[in-house]
Amino acid sequence: MKYADSGVDIDAAQKALAGAKDAVRSTWDERVRSDLGAFGGLYRPAPGEPLLVASVDGVGTKVKIAAMAGRYDTVGQDLVNHCVNDILVQGAEPLFFLDYFAAGKLRDDVLEQVLTGFARACRENGCALLGGETAEMPGVYGDEDFDLAGCIVGRVEEAHVIDGSAIVAGDRLWGLPSTGLHTNGYSLARRVFFEVAGCAVDDRPDALGGETVADALLAVHRSYLSEIRQLWSALGRDAIHGLAHITGGGFTDNIPRIVPDGLCARVETASWSVPPLFGFLQDKGEVPAEEMYRVFNMGIGLVAVLPADTDPGLLARSGALPIGEIVAGEDKVDVVL
């Protein structure tokens, strides 16, 4: 089974985006400080001021799991944390967050739980929940359906932007563990769990170590802001050469976004223990290993690139695991299976 078998075609999406690049760039002026393909957009509001960094995202079909389980507070946290990570990888810290909630039929209990999740994650990340939009759209969504999107804005001094340009051969890759699927691959995961394996949300498959299916699939997407701040404090703002958030596209599509031409990030997948959740998905869905590392985070939610002489003990105390290195090459990423 592949991701496309569940209705999601990553290649088709990338092709469509590539065709719109010229139209997007036609709106830019000299204040835009990033190019398409970055995790967030960089914008200089005025000369000498810090850059604003903005990103927008959703939680995908994880909302279907929330509806099946009747638990709605975690998906709000997921969305905030996902957006925080997307600007964090460029060196930015969050300022404020805006949300969009759409449903076929507005239910007060669902909206309240989602907003509570937004607020909790915003407090934990030190950013303001500035406002949002609530839309009731019968005919577009079914009565039980809803969807979420969010936009975050942060800032970073231009001298401290992390864009991968400092990466050199010999740098080491360090992975910060994920807390589960985070917010990607849920169309495939739902098909494997509920259609192929025949699970219900309250089932406790042996492979999940006593967790229910709902607990495993609704685990909150982790924010890495605290860990990266600790590294900045210990090593300095310029010590991290690159950061990649392992979201949609997995290792295969996200790591190349930060690797300079002529270099390759060699990821040694045997260097960490893949959590049982991913093993269940691969086994029950008969998903090829290459597809697993393109769809899922496989237990690593953030990849940091640091100089080879960085104190490994310091990185270990932050929870990071050594998972590979930067070598010469033209492919930008080599996921060694």
Buried b (16+ CB within 10 A) or exposed e, 56-72: ebbbbbbbbbbbbbebb
Task: Note whether 185 and 309 are same-domain residues.
Answer: yes
75 lies in some domain: yes
Tens-digit pLDDT profile for residues 81-112: 999 999 999 999 999 999 999 999 999 999 99
Between the CA of residue 188 and those of 181, 271, 333, what are the distances in Å? 11, 25, 24
Q: What is the CATH number of the domain that holds 139?
A: 3.30.1330.10
pLDDT in tens, the chain (337 residues): 787 777 787 777 778 778 789 999 999 999 999 998 899 999 999 999 999 999 999 999 999 999 999 999 999 999 999 999 999 999 999 999 999 999 999 999 999 999 999 999 999 999 999 999 999 999 999 999 999 999 999 999 999 999 999 999 999 999 999 999 999 999 999 999 999 999 999 999 999 999 999 999 999 999 999 999 999 999 999 999 999 999 999 999 999 999 999 999 999 999 999 999 999 999 999 999 999 999 999 999 999 999 999 999 999 999 999 999 999 999 999 999 9
Task: Note whether 189 and 323 are same-domain residues.
Answer: yes
Which residues contact residue 148 at a Cβ distance below 8 angstroms, ignoring those fewer than 6 apart?
Answer: 58, 59, 63, 75, 76, 79, 99, 100, 101, 102, 114
pLDDT at 19: 79
Q: What is the CATH number of the domain that holds 204?
A: 3.90.650.10
Task: Note whether 247 and 279 are same-domain residues.
Answer: yes
Placement of tokens 């990553």 in the chain: 10
User: Measured between alpha carbons, how far is 20 from 26 in angstroms, rounded to an integer?
Assistant: 10
Q: Which helix (H) or strand (E) is 97 found in, with range? A: strand 93-103
3 lies in some domain: no
208 lies in some domain: yes
212 lies in some domain: yes
pLDDT at 32: 96
| Other residues' Cβ atoms within 10 Å of the Cβ of residue 100 | 16
Between the CA of residue 54 and those of 136, 154, 238, 333, what are the distances in Å? 26, 6, 21, 26
Domain enclosing residue 264, as ranges: 172-336
Last residue of a domain, one of 97, 128, 160: 160
Residue 54 dihedral angles phi and psi, to the nearest 5°? -125, 150
pTM of the model: 0.95
Task: Note whether 104 and 242 are same-domain residues.
Answer: no
Task: Note whether 141 and 208 are same-domain residues.
Answer: no
| Other residues' Cβ atoms within 10 Å of the Cβ of residue 22 | 8
178 lies in some domain: yes
Could you give the angle at the alpha carbon of 108 between the alpha carbons of 107 and 113, nearest 5°? 105
Q: 132: which strand partners?
A: 99
Residue 292 dihedral angles phi and psi, to the nearest 5°? -60, -45
1 lies in some domain: no
31 lies in some domain: yes
Output the six-digit token pair for 232.
Answer: 């900045």
Residue 178 dihedral angles phi and psi, to the nearest 5°? -90, 175
Between the CA of residue 40 and those of 35, 76, 83, 198, what are the distances in Å? 9, 20, 9, 38
Residue 239 dihedral angles phi and psi, to the nearest 5°? -75, -25
3-state secondary structure of 270: helix
**64 close to 218: Cβ distance less than 8 angstroms:** no
Task: Note whether 87 and 137 are same-domain residues.
Answer: yes
Task: Note whether 38 and 130 are same-domain residues.
Answer: yes
Last residue of a domain, one of 139, 160, 181: 160
Count of domains forming the chain:
2
Task: Note whether 97 and 142 are same-domain residues.
Answer: yes
Task: Note whether 68 and 212 are same-domain residues.
Answer: no
Q: Which helix (H) or strand (E) is 281 found in, with range? A: helix 276-285
Output the six-digit token pair for 327.
Answer: 């070598």
**257 close to 101: Cβ distance less than 8 angstroms:** no
Task: Note whether 117 and 221 are same-domain residues.
Answer: no
3-state secondary structure of 191: helix
Task: Note whether 255 and 207 are same-domain residues.
Answer: yes
100 lies in some domain: yes
pLDDT at 7: 77
Tens-digit pLDDT profile for residues 187-232: 999 999 999 999 999 999 999 999 999 999 999 999 999 999 999 9
Please state at what angle helix 73-88 crosses helix 62-69, rounded to 10 degrees.
160
Last residue of a domain, one of 160, 186, 209: 160
In what side-by-side order are the strands of the sheet with 172-177?
242-245, 300-306, 172-177, 321-328, 263-268, 332-336
Task: Note whether 211 and 120 are same-domain residues.
Answer: no
